[in-house]
Amino acid sequence: MRLPQQPQETIDRSRTVRFFFAGKTVEGFAGETLGSALFASGRRVFSRSFKYHRPRGLLCCSGNCPNCLMTVDGEPNVRVCVEPIREGAQVRAQNVLGSLDRDLLSVVDRFGGPFTPVGFYYRTMIRPRRLWPYYERGLRRVAGLGRLDRHAARSRRFDVEHRRTDVLVVGGGSAGVEAARAAAAEGRSTLLVDERRSLPDVGAGVEVLAPARALGVYEGGLVPVDAGGVLHRVRAGRIVVATGTLEQPLVFPGNDLVGVVLPELVRRMVDDWSLRPGERAVVVAADDAGVAVVEQLRRADVRVERVVDLRETIPRTLSAAGKGGRLRAVSIDGEEISCDLLVSSGGRQPAYSLLAQAGARIEHDAARGIFVPAELPPDVEAVGSVTGEVGRAAVPPASFADRASKSRSFVCVCEDVTEKDMRRAVAEGFDSIELAKRYTTVTMGPCQGRLCHLQAVRLYARETGAGEAAIGTTTARPPWAPVSLGLLAGRGHEPTKRTSLHHRHVELGATMTWAGPWRRPHSYGDPAAEAQHVHEAVGLIDVSTLGKLIVEGPDAAAFLELLYSNRFADLRTGRIRYAVLGTDGGRIMDDGTVGRLGEERFYVTTTSTGADTVIEWFEWWNAVWGMDVEIVNVTGALTAVNVAGPRSRELLGRLTDADVSNEGVSYLDAQEALVAGVPCLILRIGFVGELGYELHFASPYGEYLWDTLLARGADLDARPFGLEPQRILRLEKQHIIVGQDTDSESNVLEAGMSWIAKLDKEDFVGKWALEQVQERGFRERLVGFELANGVVPAEGGQIVVDGRPRGRVTSARRSSQLGRVIGMAWVPPELAEEGAVLEIKVDGSLEQARVRLEPFFDPAGERLRS
Amino acid sequence: MSDLSFLSPDAARRESGFEPRLASPLARALAGAQGVRDLSGLAKIEVRGELDALPQDADLIRITATRALIVCPSERGAALRRSLPGRVFDLTAALAGLELCGEQAMRRLTDLDLEALPAAGKVAEAPAFVFRAGDTFRIFFPQEYGHYVAEVVLDTLAGLA
């Protein structure tokens, strides 16, 4: 089965490796690939083609073509011709219904021709529309390459590594190695990337990444390199492209038969793996590299029936015929020659794709019939045969097909695009190669144009009468080599923020939930009871997630006056005001509080999820206005705990010598004091509607102060409460949540907070827009509502007026305190009247609700101020 | 005028039977890990304004022409804050810190140029300040990312083991 030992063979005949193909054991040797071992075991059909399900065999043995794509250990689309053999691997065919040798879907090849011309999917299966779901199901079954196990867990580890190097050399052929050595000799850090597993010694000073593939060239000299489990993001000062050339197939009828191969396949089979690629061969080649395989063929005892050197003679017609998809004979100018191997090559095309991505101009070299790179951008270099130095070669015709031929001549084996398809695309008016590419999908398959781009352009040039230079190339885009999505996705960690009390919440049995990037306690078990407890005793909630800023400097007050619609210049030191931040368009962006800590110092809080945006907004305006203001983000520096409920004063009083009476710390006061020995900023504000104190203090004391509050408040029945009970409590007060009760169109006037928009101020961000709103009149209003019968409408539920949707519910909860369902909604202005009746769609039926403009609970704010 | 002492962990007092205790969530997340050390206790001070007269004997990153971050042992923090010119903010509690060894691990955590440290950038997608001494890196980042950064760092080290 194997040839006698070949001089350069890479197989280790002393080490047998076993793996499984379709459940049966296959034996091979260490040092070869899964594909070569399968070939040695007698397998000739390796895949079924994308569209027609024609049998396909090994073609390039270079990892370029789609013919050997198989699923290995659950990973689809592995090119087994280059995938090293490994013990116990489970190898399966893909894209077949049945088996490789009997694929039921090959019916498309036999009968589907007239029904599946190029672009058929744009024209068929459109009517009747109701059948589309069935078409879609069927198409999804047969389309695509390989199957991913959607239920499989992440099976492989993928990492991303960032690298910097002076010089990156892509391609470890002789020119690449020489360039790498030269760069290293100049003392520059040099990285060499090559697809092969082992490289000859490249010398000191050159770091080698192999096997690895450069995926593309991006701005700033960024080259992502796929090294299997690691994606290297290489930033290179200089990029040397030594990607060599790609052997090009010829276009002729039957050119996809199993047994029609490229010269490189013969070299690898004979030289590396000591395999006999066939018994009787015909060679049709356009250059020395192609013709030279005659030597390997003879060495492998293959009878060479005919050698056609296209530089000497170009046959008028060439076709291949087969049986069961396998080559039986070749016909050259009508003369039939029996053979089972046709080595055909149309010469070599420089693999210029990375250069084109880097910005090189690609031009057509008419003498050699190929595209070559020209005008390289700075810091990009091409060396070796990629420059176009491919030796003397013939320019083969676009196709050898006789127009009368009934067999298909494939231009693109990945997507099963034939010469006829290309002609048809031209006839239908797709007269540019870019449009034809999209219409026929030529060059869009797994090989990404490696084996079809040149042929497609040549055919286009012939069919349109325009030259190749005028047709040009398609745009080269990354990825240049196939890459797994897992590698692009990386490790999949999600940047997550946790407060200093996170572990306490977990220990207390909290159900944690996402609030933007934060993890927060949803509740500690019973949200309704937790809310009720705040009304009756004292509760603690971790509000460390609030954005916190210090704004200070001589212009601090003027800065805030300009940013917010509310007034801050007249805010006394030690006092707080509610603040709504608006955009230039007057839309609500965020809300929070502004406290004055000194003549030139303010303490600003924002929503939990809006903190980063607000900080950027502040810094942006500060840069625009050039005011003397410093903005310091202290969000994470401070843990914040809201101690709320009628017993909160007593609890706080036990921990501080400061006067926390209503006179000592009044509603909307900001004061600094030691609490249990920890310096705190105490803000008396009442988002939840009860007497309450927000304690802001250095985060490393989070657990200490939380524990102390709970311990010293045990007899007062101090308990934690979560986000959900807070949502109930704030709704009882009709305190809005930005982003929940407002959206990107909401403004403070229509949201019922006209009092906060001081339109008599000289200027503030969004003032003009709010004036326009006032002038045009309100289109909707944000109001509270309560429901009589106790059902809770969905958030986002419709407000229906005269049978038409005219508004939406933004929040709705059942309040134990009030014994009814309450909510907030955007309604038409005429319904924004106390007591007006709303109709809300709940589960398909309309429920009546009554508008309430005042807070549902403690409308006069007596509890807050008590 | 407020002196912002509520920002400073070193301003807490033992009094009236209270004994404030510091805790580092990052230290908890790193518990038992090899090759990584919690540095959250170091003092971190941001200075804004004129940066000419900054101390030479402390670790320092110039964030902008008028902003710098100084890292020093916690016991030096209070005195340094008093002595520094310009507007001074104690960010000790804002930034967690960790120390790890190994350039390859850092290459997997950040796209910063490791030959051009100290610098500000992203580590494990979190905003960070990075110092280097030989093969040892010290990373300071918002403490709320502590648990997450620890997770990524330990996972990265596991991937290299």
> Among all residues of chain A, which has the CA nearest to that of B157?
A159
Q: Who among A597, A638, A704 is closest to B20 (CB)?
A: A704
* Percentage with pLDDT > 70 across chain A: 99
In degrees and rounded to multiples of 5, residue A139 shows phi and psi of: -65, -40
In degrees and rounded to multiples of 5, residue A482 shows phi and psi of: -60, 145
pLDDT (tens digit per residue) in A170-202: 999 999 999 999 999 999 999 999 998 777 788
pLDDT recorded at residue B57: 79
The 8-class DSSP code of residue A525 comes to S
The answer to whether A499 faces chain B, any CB pair under 8 Å, is: yes
Contacts of A544 in chain B (CB under 8 A): 144
Residues 6+ apart with CB under 8 A from A367: none
pLDDT recorded at residue B86: 87
Length of chain B: 161
For residues A193 and A175, give the distance between their C-alpha atoms in angstroms, rounded to a whole number: 13
Residue A766 has pLDDT above 80, yes or no: yes
Residue A28 has pLDDT above 90, yes or no: yes
Whose CA is closest to B103, among B151, B131, B136?
B136
Could you give the 3-state DSSP secondary structure of residue A771? helix
What confidence category does residue A714 fall into, taking pLDDT thresholds of 50, 70 and 90? very high
Work out the average pLDDT over B7-23. Answer: 94
What confidence category does residue A484 fall into, taking pLDDT thresholds of 50, 70 and 90? confident
Contacts of B144 in chain A (CB under 8 A): 497-499, 518, 544, 635-636
Contacts of B94 in chain A (CB under 8 A): 633-637, 699
Q: Who among B93, B114, B155 is closest to A637 (CB)?
A: B93
pLDDT (tens digit per residue) in A802-825: 889 999 999 999 999 999 999 999
> Among all residues of chain A, which has the CA nearest to that of B24?
A700
- Mean pLDDT for chain B overall: 93
pLDDT (tens digit per residue) in A260-310: 999 999 999 999 999 999 999 999 999 999 999 999 999 999 999 999 999
Contacts of A636 in chain B (CB under 8 A): 93-95, 142-144
Q: Who among B15, B110, B144 is closest to A499 (CB)?
A: B144
Angstrom CA distances, B96 to A4, A55, B5, B99, B103, stand at 66, 61, 19, 11, 21
- Other beta carbons within 10 Å of B113: 12
Pairing of strands A845-852, B87-90: unpaired
Residue A379 gets the label, from left (phi > 0), alpha (psi -120 to 50) or beta, of left
pLDDT (tens digit per residue) in A98-142: 888 888 777 777 777 666 777 777 778 888 889 888 888 888 877
pLDDT recorded at residue B1: 37
ipTM more than 0.90?
yes
- A217 and A198 Cβ atoms separated by less than 8 Å: no
- Mean pLDDT for chain A overall: 93
Residue A431 has pLDDT above 90, yes or no: no
The answer to whether A572 faces chain B, any CB pair under 8 Å, is: no
Least confident of A58-67, A125-134, A387-396, B58-67: A125-134
Residue B31 has pLDDT above 50, yes or no: yes
Whose CA is closest to A827, among A767, A757, A741, A744?
A741
Contacts of A163 in chain B (CB under 8 A): 107
Q: Who among B2, B87, B151 is closest to A630 (CB)?
A: B87
* More confident: A357 or A102: A357
List, as ranges, residues 36-75 from A with C-beta within 8 Å of B: none
Residue A436 has pLDDT above 70, yes or no: yes
Residue A386 has pLDDT above 60, yes or no: yes
pLDDT recorded at residue A152: 66
Residues 6+ apart with CB under 8 A from A208: A172, A191, A192, A193, A194, A199, A202
Contacts of B66 in chain A (CB under 8 A): none
| Cβ separation B93–A160 shorter than 8 A | no
Residue B15 has pLDDT above 90, yes or no: no
* More confident: A742 or A96: A742
Alpha helix positions (H), chain B:
25-30, 74-83, 103-109, 146-160
Residue A539 has pLDDT above 60, yes or no: yes
Task: Note the pTM of the prediction, 2 decimals.
Answer: 0.89
pLDDT (tens digit per residue) in B75-129: 999 999 999 888 999 999 999 999 999 999 999 999 999 999 999 999 999 999 9
Could you give the 3-state DSSP secondary structure of residue B139? strand
| Candidates A674, A682, A683, A703, partner chain B, best to mutate (most B CBs within 10 A) | A674
- Other beta carbons within 10 Å of A218: 14
Residue B2 has pLDDT above 70, yes or no: no
In degrees and rounded to multiples of 5, residue B68 shows phi and psi of: -145, 150
Q: Who among A162, A518, A681 is closest to B111 (CB)?
A: A162
pLDDT recorded at residue A254: 95
Q: Who among A163, A634, A697 is closest to B94 (CB)?
A: A634
Whose CA is closest to A415, among A436, A394, A391?
A436
Work out the average pLDDT over A357-371. Answer: 94
> Among all residues of chain A, which has the CA nearest to that of B113?
A164
Contacts of B114 in chain A (CB under 8 A): 164
* More confident: A155 or A129: A129
* Lookup: tokens for A291: 């013709």
